[in-house]
């Protein structure tokens, strides 16, 4: 059992997804129980993987015992263990929230949710470029269906854009994989890194083209500047638990950029080393600036949160663009914080919308809310965390990133990041005061919200103070992760040591 631990985050959601689809006509409480139970089990598995990886050991699982570089491998290092942990915690919050009634607005919510988890976990674990494509497709297919969960005009319209864009992105991904395979003769990322160090000069143009094509694909997933226009509408129209889970989807893109460009195009790649860096850095700053304008202009709470996701994507990618271990450590801490808090904000926005009746989440005067006090308190905590105010976790994450910037980068990063924080404070306080204080006189409206919804939001928002309380161990872990990423040789030798050189 213990040697199969690495494959469990993929197999468990797959099995549960199939079982949940088979029992689509079964009783609701049974489905909910199974889904929450499976996600809880996933958290425990992720915890075991995290403990295993925290020693710094790099482990891999060769499917069918076909050893790398020929077989398909799942690789567990500090980064992938951290991402799996984050996914499972976020998923637990979302699935508990969904049990409050959102799952019954359409069919097959829980089964699709598990498939989505399978795709995300697989993308984090795989050590093979083509398998990264396959897992991307798995998570995208599930996300298409989840985005449409419950139906409605705005969902269908944003889904058309989302699906068409991602299908075009998949075509680009395949072309990039094809170019890289043609130039290097392998798809295993570690093997590709080893082969790039002895790449014939006439092929380096081909590899550069492939690498930059991959950046376009990952940029589309991570919502980098010219490729983010699908995101705000899709996220704002998705059902709340799905939108909250989508908070991790942009991070899959960030992860892929981190992984591929630190491992394959890492220090061994000669003149191709960190060829993504200038592109990512400038486009990330552009993303931050554009998202800041979006945050200030949003007239709907859900749209506002979607733009905040974009701000966090820009911040993370700026960290990737700095390309130092300190920046990577800072961005990983920020990634944990921002994923969980923006996820929680999506759920909270939905609860506010339910209580306000017709006004929904639009930032206009509405009727007073039955549970307005508690909602306002939670909103205050979430807003302070996401805008990066001390004492909550956003402040620590941003401080780590600001501190990691080198002199030449500070002139650009500091003003843009700090102004985006200020804009977030302005936009959120304007939204909060309109939603909670400027209400019409009249009856308090809205039914009391189910307890599961409170539990889901509470779980996600509690992570922010928890990340502050555990800031020491967490930042130690992210620093160790960044060091591991900066020395890809350890991973390459762990994977390829048994076989020697490939023929």
List residues near another protein by CB under 8 A.
130, 134, 137, 141, 144, 148, 151, 153, 156-157, 159-161, 163-164, 167-168, 170-171, 174-175, 177-179, 181-182, 187
Nearer to another protein, 183 or 416 (CB): 183
Question: Least CB distance from residue 361 to another protein, whole Å?
Answer: 21
Cβ 71 to another protein shortest distance, Å: 12
107 vs 157, beta carbon nearer another protein: 157
Q: Indicate the residue among 96 and 159 with the shorter CB distance to another protein.
A: 159
CB atoms within 10 A of CB 156: 12
Let me know if 358 is exposed, middle or buried by CB neighbors in 10 A (0-12, 13-18, 19+). Answer: exposed
> Cβ 175 to another protein, closest distance in Å?
6
Residue 360 Cβ vs another protein, minimum distance, rounded to whole Å: 20
- Rounded distance, CA 194 to CA 492, Å? 7
Token representation of residue 103: 């799952």
HSE on the CB side for 434, CA within 13 Å? Answer: 17
The two most distant CA atoms of the chain are separated, in Å, by 78
Minimum CB separation from another protein for residue 66, in Å? 13
Alpha-carbon gap, residue 311 to 40, rounded angstroms: 30
Is there a contact between 323 and 350 (Cβ–Cβ < 8 Å)? no
Query: In degrees rounded to 5, what are phi and psi of residue 32?
Result: -65, -45
Q: How far is the CB of 153 from another protein (least distance, A)?
A: 6
187 vs 352, beta carbon nearer another protein: 187
Q: Which is nearer to another protein, 172 or 289 (CB)?
A: 172
Per the DSSP assignment, residues forming a β-bridge with 128 are 188
Cβ nearer to another protein, comparing 176 with 363? 176
Q: Which residues of 54-89 are buried (b: 16+ CB within 10 A; e: fewer)?
A: beeebbbbbeeeeebbeebbbbbbbbbbbbbbbbbb
Residue 230 or 454: the one with the smaller Cβ distance to another protein is 230
Q: Which residues pair with 59 in a beta bridge?
A: 76
Least Å from the CB of residue 486 to another protein:
31
């Amino acid at each position: 059992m213990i040697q199969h631990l690495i494959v469990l985050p993929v197999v468990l959601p797959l099995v549960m997804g199939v079982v949940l689809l088979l029992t689509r006509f079964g009783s609701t409480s049974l489905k909910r129980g199974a889904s929450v139970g499976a996600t809880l089990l996933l958290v425990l598995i992720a915890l075991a993987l995290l403990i295993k990886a925290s020693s710094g050991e790099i482990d891999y699982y060769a499917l069918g015992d076909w050893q790398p570089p020929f077989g398909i491998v799942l690789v567990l290092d500090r980064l992938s263990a951290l991402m799996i942990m984050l996914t499972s915690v976020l998923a637990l919050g979302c699935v508990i929230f969904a049990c409050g009634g959102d799952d019954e607005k359409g069919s097959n919510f829980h089964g699709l949710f598990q498939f989505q988890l399978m795709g995300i976990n697989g993308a984090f674990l795989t050590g093979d470029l083509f398998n990264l494509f396959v897992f991307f497709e798995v998570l995208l297919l599930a996300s298409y269906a989840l985005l449409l969960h419950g139906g409605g005009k705005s969902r269908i319209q944003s889904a058309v854009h989302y699906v068409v864009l991602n299908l075009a992105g998949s075509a680009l991904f395949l072309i990039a994989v094809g170019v890289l395979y043609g130039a290097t003769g392998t798809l295993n990322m570690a093997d590709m890194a080893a082969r790039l160090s002895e790449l014939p000069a006439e092929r380096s143009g081909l590899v550069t083209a492939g690498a930059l094509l991959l950046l376009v694909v990952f940029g589309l997933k991570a919502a980098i500047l010219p490729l983010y226009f699908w995101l705000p509408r899709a996220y704002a129209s998705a059902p709340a638990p799905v939108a909250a889970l989508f908070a991790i989807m942009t991070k899959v893109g960030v992860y892929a950029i981190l992984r591929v460009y630190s491992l394959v195009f890492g220090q061994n790649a000669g003149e191709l080393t960190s060829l993504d860096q200038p592109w990512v850095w400038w486009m990330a700053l552009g993303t931050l600036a554009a998202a800041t304008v979006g945050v200030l202009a949003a007239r709907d709470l859900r749209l506002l949160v979607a733009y905040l996701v974009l701000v966090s994507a820009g911040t993370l990618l700026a960290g990737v663009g700095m390309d130092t271990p300190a920046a990577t450590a800072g961005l990983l801490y920020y990634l944990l914080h921002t994923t969980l808090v923006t996820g929680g904000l999506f759920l909270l926005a939905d609860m506010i919308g339910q209580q306000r009746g017709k006004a929904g989440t639009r930032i206009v005067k509405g009727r007073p809310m039955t549970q307005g006090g508690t909602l306002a308190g939670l909103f205050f905590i979430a807003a302070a965390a996401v805008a990066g105010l001390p004492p909550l976790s956003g402040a620590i994450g941003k401080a780590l990133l600001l501190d990691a910037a080198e002199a030449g980068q500070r002139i650009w990063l500091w003003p843009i990041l700090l102004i985006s924080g200020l804009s977030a404070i302005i936009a959120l306080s304007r939204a909060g005061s309109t939603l909670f204080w400027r209400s019409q006189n009249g009856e308090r409206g809205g039914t009391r919200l189910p307890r599961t919804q409170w539990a889901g939001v509470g779980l996600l928002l509690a992570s922010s103070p928890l990340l502050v309380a555990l800031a020491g161990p967490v930042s130690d872990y992210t620093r160790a992760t960044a060091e591991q990423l900066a020395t890809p040789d350890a991973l390459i030798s762990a994977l390829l040591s048994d076989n020697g050189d490939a023929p």
